Amino acid sequence: MLFSERKVIPLALCGALALAAFSANAADDHQGLASSPERAGANSKIVEPGTTAQAGRPVIRRLTSDQYANSIADIFGPGINLGGRFDPEVRKSGLIALGSSEATVTASGIEQFDNMARKIAEQVLEKSARASVMPCKPAAENAPDPACAKMFLERVGRFLYRRTLSEQELTSLVELANSTTGTTKDFHQGLARTLANMMVSPSFLFRFEKIEADPDVPGGLRLDGFSKAARLSFFMWNSAPDALLLDAAANGSLHKDAEFRRQVDRMLASKRLESGVRAFFDDMLNLDQMETASKDSDLYPEFTPAVAKEAREETLRTIAQILVAERGDYRDLFTTRKTFLTPTLGALYGVPVVTRSVIGQPDSWVPYEYAKDSPRVGLLAQVSFLSLHSHPGRSSATLRGKALRELFMCQKVPDPPGNVDFTVVQQTDNVLYKTARARLDAHAKQPMCAGCHKITDPIGLALEGFDGSGRFRTAENGEVIDLRGSLNGVAFKSPAELGEVVSKNSQVTSCLVKQAAAFATGSAADATATEWLKYLNEAFVADGYRFPGLMRRIVLSSAFSDVQTKQQASIAPAASGH
């Protein structure tokens, strides 16, 4: 639940226990950058001057399916079964986080939300469960009790709506609970229907950001406390704000620099940080698409839906281990030989995996380190990347190269045009084109195709040692595969060397900065963000490419919580280009 860092504490008790619970945890698992001696001094004044070019803008975002699920689990406990389907996420400029600023709810989507809300409310208030969430007992089970209903709805509503409810809102909700109870002759049914209504309301399904005058900056605007708290929480934890954050928003202390830093460092120290980091990389790497990745079972018998799910998890575990648990260097993701495997994944990788027990519980995930001469190096050689950017029945150097440029370097590879003449490939017996390199060379002889293929294929050809499912191979159609390739003129001849080249590419790190900033604020970088991104890039380098450090820089920047007026936007400098 939202009120505890580690323990499931009944809703009715959590308000009182929250601070104590946090304090205890913070003392023993605080690992944030701010507590690190070598960084504490450097970060003592990280907020940049609030220039007009750095101010952001308020956005309205629809909750993503994960944010919905996390919010429900945090508010009501992890055992709640959602039992529904969400409207497809909208991806914009490479991120669902940006698409959520344009997403709405369709007619079939609202049906699903209504069904889910009713099922969730029933589970929350069913007889065996309600004791942990009800702050009071109704005077009678079969009659309205406005006072008790109000107490419950006020408490729950604060977490669902991520703000304090107005008296008018509460009055309407209590009236609904009373009237429904009057009809059903069941107090808890009346409450359940009202709770379901709250979960269908735009106030829950959308994150509304509100602005207010900034008393510290004449004429300036800023996000209000609750909007700031939600932006912080969804960025760092991918879930709704907890009690402490809402308290700080309600009493205004979140606007005070010291308290804001304290909250940020508390969140960085929390176990929930991993959830936020995973959500960002899941989004940036399009890993949600693994849900529908399918391969030909005749050609790739090891690639099952279970493998696809575990491949996604392998990548996220690798990222979480290096970036969060070890507070490591982002660039190491491209050169690491360490990973996590299950027996199922091991079958595809050709690696024997022996499971273990952790505190008496079987754990199918096992840390694994590849040998020095193994081609399995970094994220680019993991099944998730290799299989997602392949065809169902074969690999694709083009798709892999395109993915590297678009996902990791923030470059846009143009879509192929219509009316392409494929005569060269089509009129030639495929016997002459046994490998992808041969086929692509033939295809790229078309001048209109060569332009794009020359920026994608040389990258992907180094990964041709992995087939469409990500399995290792040395030959295709009996011909030894040539792994030579290049990225922006830098040559390599193996996946390991590709990983090295990618890790040293400054566009790769600046792309991460750009995407993280967009993910946090819900706005794609435009001309007004140039100075801010420059600052973040320099800070990221200075911080040793530590991702939690980057998150801290982002949220402590004025662009994260100050708001730009239209007039300010109009005088912002032009984009310098990327």
Partner 1 sequence: MVMNKMNRRTILRGALGGAAVTVGIPFLDCFLDNNGKAFAAGGKTLPPVFGTWTMGLGLTPGFWEPKTFGANYEFGEDLKVLTPLQKKINVFSGLRILSSQVITVHTGGMAGLLSGGLSAPGKPLGPSIDTLIADQVGTRSRFRSLEVSCDGTPTSFSRRAGGVVNPSEFSPIAFYQRIFGADYVDPNKAEYKPDPALMLRKSALSAVSEQRSDLLSTLGASDKARLDEYFTSLRTLEKQLEIMLEKPDPLPSCKVATQPQDGERTVLIDHVQKNHELFVELMVAAVACGQTQVFNLNLCGALSHMRRAGSSNTYHTYTHEEAVDNRGYQLTVGWFQRQIADMYFKMAQKFDSYREGDGTLLDRMLVLYVTDHGDAKVHGNENIPVFMAGGAAGRIKTGLHVAAKGETLSRLGLTLQQAYGVSVGTWGTEANTTSHPFGEIMA
Where does this chain bind partner 1 (CB under 8 A)?
A: 60, 85, 87-88, 102-111, 114, 118, 172, 176, 179-180, 183-184, 193-194, 196-197, 200-203, 205-206, 208, 210, 292, 294, 296-299, 305, 391-394, 415-422, 425-430, 439, 468
CB 446 within 8 A of CB 421: yes
Cα–Cα dist 541/33, whole Å: 15
Rounded to 5°, angle at Cα 568 from 55 and 570: 120
Instruction: Give me the least distance between CB of 570 and partner 1, in Å please.
Output: 16
Instruction: Give me the least distance between CB of 476 and partner 1, in Å please.
Output: 10
Written as one string, the DSSP assignment of 107-134 is HHHHHHHHHHHHHHHHHHHSTTTGGGT-
Instruction: Give me the least distance between CB of 103 and partner 1, in Å please.
Output: 8
* Residue closer to partner 1 (CB basis): 246 or 293: 293
Instruction: Give me the least distance between CB of 51 and partner 1, in Å please.
Output: 24
Instruction: Give me the least distance between CB of 275 and partner 1, in Å please.
Output: 25
**Torsion sign, CA atoms 319, 322, 327, 328:** negative
Q: What stretches of 303-446 show up as alpha helix (H) in DSSP?
A: 305-319, 343-349, 383-388, 397-403, 409, 423-426, 436-443
546: left (phi over 0), alpha (psi -120 to 50) or beta: beta
* Residue closer to partner 1 (CB basis): 35 or 183: 183
- The number of residues making up the chain comes to 578
Instruction: Give me the least distance between CB of 30 and partner 1, in Å please.
Output: 38
Instruction: Give me the least distance between CB of 52 and partner 1, in Å please.
Output: 20
Instruction: Give me the least distance between CB of 298 and partner 1, in Å please.
Output: 4
* Residue closer to partner 1 (CB basis): 111 or 326: 111
* Residue closer to partner 1 (CB basis): 114 or 259: 114
Report the 3 state secondary structure along 191-236: HHHHHHHHHHCHHHHEEECCEEECCCCCCCEEECHHHHHHHHHHHH
Instruction: Give me the least distance between CB of 39 and partner 1, in Å please.
Output: 39
Would you state the structure tokens that stand for residue 33, as one six-digit string? 């950058």
Instruction: Give me the least distance between CB of 179 and partner 1, in Å please.
Output: 8
* Residue closer to partner 1 (CB basis): 210 or 262: 210
* Residue closer to partner 1 (CB basis): 177 or 322: 177
* Residue closer to partner 1 (CB basis): 184 or 486: 184
Instruction: Give me the least distance between CB of 160 and partner 1, in Å please.
Output: 13
* Residue closer to partner 1 (CB basis): 141 or 326: 141
Cα–Cα dist 165/575, whole Å: 41
CB 466 within 8 A of CB 395: yes
Q: For residue 64, what is the enclosing H or E element?
A: none
* Residue closer to partner 1 (CB basis): 13 or 413: 413
Cα–Cα dist 126/120, whole Å: 10
CB 106 within 8 A of CB 87: yes
Q: Which residue has the tokens 């390199």?
A: 437
Q: 425 exposed, middle or buried (CB, 10 Å; 0-12, 13-18, 19+)?
A: middle
* Residue closer to partner 1 (CB basis): 195 or 244: 195
Alpha-carbon distances, residue 181 vs 12, 17, 123 (angstroms): 22, 31, 18
* Residue closer to partner 1 (CB basis): 90 or 250: 90
Cα–Cα dist 437/288, whole Å: 29
